[in-house]
Amino acid sequence: MSKIALLVAAAILSASAPAVVLAAQPLAQPMAVTPNVSVTIGGDLAKDVEKLGERDVREQAEELARVVQREMARDADTDGRWAGAQVNLVLTDLKPNRPTMQQTIDRPGLSMQHSKSIGGATIEGEIVTAEGERLPVRYERYSTSLAEVFGYTTWSDASRAYDGLAANMRRGRLTNR
């Protein structure tokens, strides 16, 4: 396991409680150095959790927290722009490249191996700096055609979105387009 301790505040999503909250904190460094990262499920994705599968969505939120935490830790090692910040992200849309386990259960004709789709993710939120300044975050990345789909996993394009967001955040670019 990486240097991140994940705290799952709500693991089961329902209509009455449509959010999963994940917090990532470094184990080896004090919180004042590396930003704290939390990820919640919201927007249209909160409605689609049951269709995509709770486990898959939870794992994607955890992966987003890990990727951003890892990249922000690199920032702490360099210029420290985000030292002591709180990163609050909301995963608002998530599209798989291949059917999820829940989708194949719900629709037996789908093939996890042969079915392919345009995937990606939309992430919104904010960074609260150590000084209390609130900076909006917005990032989305989707393939535009099946020819552009890279990778063979269910969440290839979503993973590319997480990497792109984290790299942009480290450079101080908090919104795309």
- DSSP-derived pairing of the beta strands 36-41 and 86-95: parallel
Rg (CA), the chain: 16
Residue 173 has pLDDT above 60, yes or no: yes
Q: Distance between CA 134 and CA 128 in Å, rounded?
A: 5
pLDDT digits (tens, 9 = 90+) for 124-142: 999 998 889 999 999 999 9
Question: Does the structure show a pLDDT above 90 at 164?
Answer: yes
What one-letter code names the amino acid at 161? A
Higher pLDDT among residues 6 and 54, named by residue: 54
How does the average pLDDT of the chain come out, rounded?
A: 80
pLDDT reading at 79 higher than 80: no
pLDDT digits (tens, 9 = 90+) for 39-75: 999 999 999 999 999 999 999 999 999 999 998 887 6
Instruction: Express each pLDDT in 85-111 by its tens digit.
Output: 899 999 999 999 999 999 989 998 888
Distance of CA 2 to the CA centre of its chain: 16
The residue that leads in pLDDT, 99 or 79, is 99
Give this prediction's pTM. 0.77
Task: Identify the band that residue 8 occupies on the pLDDT scale cut at 50, 70 and 90.
Answer: very low
The H-or-E segment that residue 161 falls in is helix 156-171
CA proximity to 99, closest of 123, 117, 125: 117
Q: Does position 13 have pLDDT exceeding 50, yes or no?
A: no
DSSP conformational letter for 150? -
